[in-house]
Amino acid sequence: MNFKKIPRRDLEEMFETFLSSIDDYIENILEISAYKGYNLDFSLESLSDLEKYISTSNINADDDRINDLAAYLGEVIRKNIGGNWKCSLDLKYNSIFYGKPVIAEYTTPNDLEFSPFDCILNYISEPHANYFINIIENDLDDVPLNLDDIPTEE
């Protein structure tokens, strides 16, 4: 879906609908995953079970459970690290997630956004162990790059 072609007002309404349905999405994923023996308890450690659930459940990019999975992943970050849900609407400076629900203000710099939807879809297309936790840790790692060995013009 090309969110850039959707009017801003419609994107905001879609976001509000998503936000008001988060509890239902999470209830769905908790119920289904528990039935299959996975422990999704909102801990960072539960992301391993989330990966296993996705990998064994034949989920594809068009699956109705994508909302459930993205809502759960976003809430794990929000509850453990911080931040809040927002609709990414900065087309000029942060257009990669434009129109999507993201977690914002969870790391420094605070203009970094995390898209649970993109993260889930990327995992579905290329699953590997510890994918979610690695993404989160990379976002939180604020160690500055050492540029001392890079040649400069002098």
User: pLDDT, tens digit, for every residue of 67-122?
Assistant: 999 999 999 999 999 999 999 998 887 778 999 999 999 987 777 899 999 999 99
pTM for the predicted model, two decimal places: 0.89
The CATH number of the domain holding residue 108 is: 1.20.120.1090
Backbone angles phi, psi at 113, to 5 degrees: -120, 150
Establish if 75 belongs to a structural domain. yes
Identify the bridge partners of residue 113 per DSSP, sorted by sequence position: 104
Establish if 70 belongs to a structural domain. yes
Work out how many domains the chain is built from and give that number: 1
> Which residue from 75, 29, 33, 52 is spatially nearest to 130, judged by alpha carbons?
52
User: pLDDT, tens digit, for every residue of 37-71?
Assistant: 999 999 999 999 999 999 999 999 999 999 999 99
As a dihedral over the C-alpha atoms of residue 77, residue 80, residue 84, residue 85, rounded to 10 degrees, the angle is 30
Establish if 144 belongs to a structural domain. no
Both tokens of 89, joined, read 């609407």
124 has pLDDT over 90: yes
Question: Kind and range of the H or E element at 104?
Answer: strand 101-104
In sequence order, what are the residues at sequence separation of 6 or more whose Cβ sits closer than 8 angstroms to the Cβ of residue 139? 106, 107, 112, 114
Q: Residue 70 is part of which domain span? A: 3-136
Establish if 85 belongs to a structural domain. yes
Residues shown for the chain: 154
Contact 65, 59 (CB under 8 A): yes
Distance from chain centroid for Cα 139: 12
Identify the bridge partners of residue 114 per DSSP, sorted by sequence position: 103
Measured CA to CA, the distance from residue 154 to residue 152 in angstroms comes to 6
Measured CA to CA, the distance from residue 111 to residue 64 in angstroms comes to 30
CA end-to-end span of the chain, whole Å?
48
